[in-house]
A = this chain, B = another copy of it.
Amino acid sequence: MIFRSPIKHCKNCGSAVIYRIPDDGDTKERAVCPACGTIHYENPLNVVGTVPHLGDRVLLCKRNIEPRWGKWTLPAGFMELGETTAEGAARETDEEAGAQFEMEDLFTVMNVARVGQVHLFYRARLLSDQFNPGHETIEARLFNEADIPWDEIAFKTVKETLQRYFADRRTGQYPVHNIDIV
């Protein structure tokens, strides 16, 4: 999780901001610049990733970065400007696992309101069992459902997505799951 640092200075002119409700009909306190009037909005961030699968197995990455160093995750990261949710998910899968894959449909949309995030995962069909993980990953490995290290999963959204993926595999139907993580 990234916790954002507070806004102390105006991004436009550098003056110290004050937190107050703007005069434009807004109802929430924002960082407002008393010098140039700039209003600074802070909004939730999207995290995008994939469930890369090959036959009965799913690809997990062992994290080489904090938070949760050494824990296992699905490839995922912050969505960037200029890309779609699917493009971001594909980019992260390439960066973190160096996998060859074909993108499939949106699978989970999960709110983590406590940290101001929305996590979106797509299914992705792996085209190879060879991986070339980047510097953020210690190891990329395929797991059968029975071998998933459930107690060593880095994030709750990853665990929830994996659980629903294996449940849906039994039916062959993969509706989008919209879940709130408390």
A contact set with B: CB distance below 8 Å = 5-16, 25, 28, 38, 40-46, 78-87, 105-106, 109, 111, 113, 116, 118, 120, 135-136, 175-176, 178, 180
Given contacts A42-B81, A175-B175, 20 further A-B contacts (CB under 8 A): A5-B11, A8-B14, A9-B9, A9-B11, A9-B14, A11-B11, A41-B78, A43-B79, A43-B80, A44-B81, A46-B118, A82-B116, A84-B111, A84-B113, A85-B118, A106-B109, A106-B176, A109-B109, A109-B176, A176-B178
Question: Which of B10, B40, B105, B175 contacts A14, CB < 8 Å?
Answer: B10
Q: How far is the CA of A39 from the CA of B80 in the complex (A)?
A: 15
Q: How far is the CA of A175 from the CA of B44 in the complex (A)?
A: 25
SS class, residues of chain A in contact with chain B: loop
Question: Which of B11, B28, B43, B85 contacts A7, CB < 8 Å?
Answer: B11
The 6 closest A-B pairs by CB, nearest first: A9-B14, A176-B176, A14-B14, A84-B111, A106-B178, A81-B116
CB pairs A–B below 8 angstroms (24 shown): A5-B38, A8-B11, A9-B9, A9-B13, A10-B14, A11-B11, A43-B46, A43-B78, A43-B80, A44-B46, A44-B79, A46-B118, A82-B113, A82-B116, A84-B111, A85-B109, A85-B111, A85-B178, A87-B113, A105-B178, A106-B109, A106-B176, A109-B109, A109-B120
Q: How far is the CA of A5 from the CA of B120 in the complex (A)?
A: 27
Nearest B-chain residue to A178, judged by Cβ: B106
Q: Nearest Cβ distance between residue A82 and chain B, in whole angstroms?
A: 6
Contact in complex: B12, A5 (CB < 8 Å): yes
Nearest B-chain residue to A5, judged by Cβ: B12
Nearest B-chain residue to A115, judged by Cβ: B81
